Amino acid sequence: MDELLLLQELEDIKNYPSDILPHYGYGDKKELIEIIENEITILSRYEEPQEDMEEEEADRRRICEVQGLSRWI
């Protein structure tokens, strides 16, 4: 699930007037907030900034060129 969608869902849960959420299997509001915040934390750890990915791709391209290989087969 996308981090943005999780943030929107988190806001919806936080703003829900009851502590029991029927559209989440009657789950506890605090427990659901904790679960979603943990998911957001996990996603943010594994998302690489675009610059790092571009730099990594450039490195891979150079390695292939040095070895005389095509990067894309």
Q: Are 18 and 51 in contact (CB under 8 A)?
A: no
Q: Are 63 and 30 in contact (CB under 8 A)?
A: no
* pLDDT tens, position by position, 60-71: 888 888 888 877
Q: Is the pTM of this model over 0.95?
A: no
Mean pLDDT of 11-21: 92
* pLDDT tens, position by position, 19-47: 988 888 888 999 999 999 999 888 877 76
